[in-house]
Structure formats: structure tokens, C-alpha cells
Copies of this chain bind each other. A is one copy, B any other.
Amino acid sequence: MLGEVDSARCSIARATEVLGDRWTVLILRDLFNGIRRFDELASHLGVARNVLTRRLAGLVDAGVAVRTPYREPGSRERHEYRLTAAGRDLRPVLLALVAWGDAHRPDPQGPPVRFEHDGCGGRVGLELRCSHGHEVPPRELLSIPQ
């Protein structure tokens, strides 16, 4: 349970002011993947350029991405987008979406991406764990309105 809480004070509501749009989440995915340039994002996502422009502006306004100019020899100035620290902190949200998608909307070819601990090779996943080091099963999760 997430706990009864006044909507006006809800952290989820504040987070979804940034994320509450499907394209925005997919753009963040591509930025995590190192796809940074407007034209590359547009072609990889297959999204209308005006939609992409609006969504990227929203991510910049929200402080999760920064827009920086670059220029290829002989071509006009263009822009690329990079995640800020706040943007990189959205990784758990995307990993949780990956886990749910893999479990409940499985790809017939199996999970398209495997997450591995560099060096150790262990499979990486999100865990609910408490400050005393216990893994917390859903039924033992208390949410306490403050």
C-alpha cells in the first residue's frame, strides 16, 4: 500500500508532472541509451518532430535534461540533449517499468535487455529493502502518512 495521502502533497503527482506522458518516458529511455541528438531521437522514436520538440522542452524546463548546441563540419548548428543528475535519478522508474513489461507484457523473443552487475556478472534487479538490510515482501510494507 502507498498510504492514504492528500493528493496535493503526493510525491507521485509531482513526479508525474514530469513523466506523465508516454513519449516523455520513451525519450528518457533513449537519453539513457545515449541517443542525444534531436534527429536521432526523432528517427529512433518515430515521433512527430513538433511533439518531440515540445516533450524535450518540457524535460529541459523540468531540469531533467539540458540542451546543448553542436555543429558538424559544413552543417548548421544543431542541439543535443543530456540527462542532468535529476534525470539520471529517474533510472529506477524506468527499470521498474522494464521489470513490469517483461513480467506482464513479455516479448515472445524474451526480455530485450538483460541488466548485469559489471564485473560480478550477477543479474541486476530492483529490490524493496529496509534500512536494517531485510528484503521487504509487499505484505510487510507499511506506508505511513506524515
**Chain A residues at the B interface, C-beta cutoff of 8 Å:** 1-7, 9-22, 25-26, 29, 32-35, 44-46, 63, 86, 88-105, 107, 109-134, 136, 138-146
Contacts and interface: CB of A to CB of B under 8 A. Distances in A.
26 contacts: A1-B33, A3-B33, A4-B33, A7-B46, A10-B29, A12-B97, A14-B105, A15-B97, A16-B22, A16-B25, A17-B105, A20-B22, A20-B25, A63-B104, A89-B103, A92-B128, A109-B146, A113-B143, A113-B144, A113-B145, A116-B141, A118-B141, A119-B140, A121-B132, A124-B129, A127-B129
A131 B122 contact: yes
A115 B5 CA distance: 13
Contacts of A86: 103-104
A104 B77 CA distance: 32
Report how many copies the assembly holds: 2
> Is the contact region of chain A dominated by helix, strand, or loop, or is it mixed?
mixed
A93 B91 CA distance: 11
Contacts of A99: 11, 92
Contact of A21 (B3, B20, B104, B133): B20
A96 B92 contact: yes
A113 to B, nearest CB: 4
Contacts of A97: 11-12, 15-16, 19, 93
B96 A126 contact: yes
Given A1-B33, A19-B97, A10 B117 contact: no
